[in-house]
Amino acid sequence: MRRCDYASTPSDIESDRMMIRIDDGKGHKDRYTLLGKRTLKVLREYWKKYRPAKWLFEGREPGKRYSSRTAEEVFEQAVKRAGIKKPVTFHTLRHSFATHLLESGVDIRYIQNLLGHSSIKTTELYTQVTTQKIERIKSPIDL
């Protein structure tokens, strides 16, 4: 998800399908992305505690969504609490998401769809191949 994609409403969480609907994402495109079981559990706990009126993540005023800057600040605090020393951004999460999916054997066209990319070339930039994967490939000569 992009930073701007966190402006979801509770109805965008489709727990029966384990999907999150992203309305009017970048390029004014609607799409779906994956919802993990742990994420769903945390979102349910969050919803029970805060009971947001309109937006899933509301600002200080009920009915007003988090600003992009507030979302960044919350993210930066979480990175610090987790003890992560490397520079990490929302966009780093997108890269990691795509890379993990690719390494798990997910077809790049599905990854393209989940990320909301029009061009496969854009998706290819996100899918960083790790050295570990390359080292496990057997030479066709040895097969």
| pLDDT of 137 above 90 | no
Lowest model confidence (mean pLDDT) among 10-19, 70-79, 97-106, 130-139: 130-139
Q: Considering 65, 82, 99, which residue would you say is the last residue of a domain? A: 82
- Per-residue pLDDT for 80 more than 90? yes
| DSSP tally for the chain: helices H, then strands E | 6, 3
> Whole domain around residue 101: which residue ranges?
89-137
Task: Compute the average pLDDT of residues 15-40.
Answer: 83
Of residues 142, 143, 108, 110, the one with CA closest to residue 128: 108
Instruction: Give domain status of residue 143, yes or no.
Output: no
CA 87, CA 72: separation in Å to the nearest integer?
13
Q: Is the pLDDT reported for residue 99 higher than 60?
A: yes
Number of domains in the chain: 2
CA atoms of 56 and 63, how far apart (whole Å)? 10
Looking at the fold, whether 68 and 101 belong to one and the same domain comes out as no
Q: Is 80 exposed, middle or buried (0-12, 13-18, 19+ CB in 10 A)?
A: exposed
Query: Are 51 and 63 contacting, i.e. CB atoms less than 8 angstroms apart?
Result: no
